Amino acid sequence: MNDSVTQTERTRLRRLPKRGAFERETVNAILDEAFVCHVGFVVDGQPYVIPTGFGRDGEMLYIHGSSASRMLRTLSTGVDVCFTATLLDALVLARSAFHHSVNYRSVVVLGKATLVEDAEEKSHALEVITNHIVPGRWDDVRWPNELELKATSVLKLPIEEASAKIRTGHPIDDEEDYGMNIWAGLLPIELKTGDPIDDDRLDNGALPPDNVSNYTRRSWRK
């Protein structure tokens, strides 16, 4: 596996290029922490951006949905796709309205998605997507049956043309504003889980497994 994704004219950052990152380790870490991606594509001149779940295996992204999904049916024809995922880390509160911002980590992947037709790869992709939600969950649950597999489509998108963009640090105000009597700084934002809540129909005494009761998101994969 290459240490970096190849920069292209489409992924080169023109504004604030110092925030760009092309190392695979950085790109993968952001993708592995994010829960939701947004998939952009065009149908008959009309752009659509659809939020959905996903999973990563090496240099491949997998997304899935209903076999009747317009998004999946359209993407499987080989149209251009723009995949994005974003993590919000802090609100950046400056002394001036103009310099307010957010600290974030984001990834954009461009390319063409293809339908996963091989049964073994499709099952593996669904395992990847399931474990992306909760690591190890696939081994704890009933696997999809034939009817469920038929009703589900899986697409794969290689992480070849991609870039990450990251903002960190404090507000950057105009020099003359630093003497103003206005509070400025960061308001950190974290995604946290609460205590597991039993399903209403859980009557067999089953307890939450360790990967649920001791759930953590950041940096759970290497």
Domains parsed from the chain with CATH numbers: 17-172+194-213 (2.30.110.10)
- Per-residue model confidence as pLDDT tens digits over 141-196: 999 999 999 999 999 999 999 999 999 999 999 999 999 999 999 999 988 889 99
Q: How high is the pLDDT of residue 8?
A: 80
Residues contacting 220, CB < 8 A, separation 6+: 32, 135
Q: How high is the pLDDT of residue 16?
A: 67
Q: How high is the pLDDT of residue 44?
A: 87
- Per-residue model confidence as pLDDT tens digits over 24-53: 899 999 999 999 999 999 988 999 999 999
DSSP 91-133: EEE-SSGGG-EEEEEEEEEEEE-EE---HHHHHHHHHHHHHHH
- What is the three-class DSSP state of 164? strand
First vs last C-alpha separation in the chain: 14
- Per-residue model confidence as pLDDT tens digits over 44-82: 899 999 999 999 999 999 999 998 888 888 889 889 999
Q: How high is the pLDDT of residue 19?
A: 76
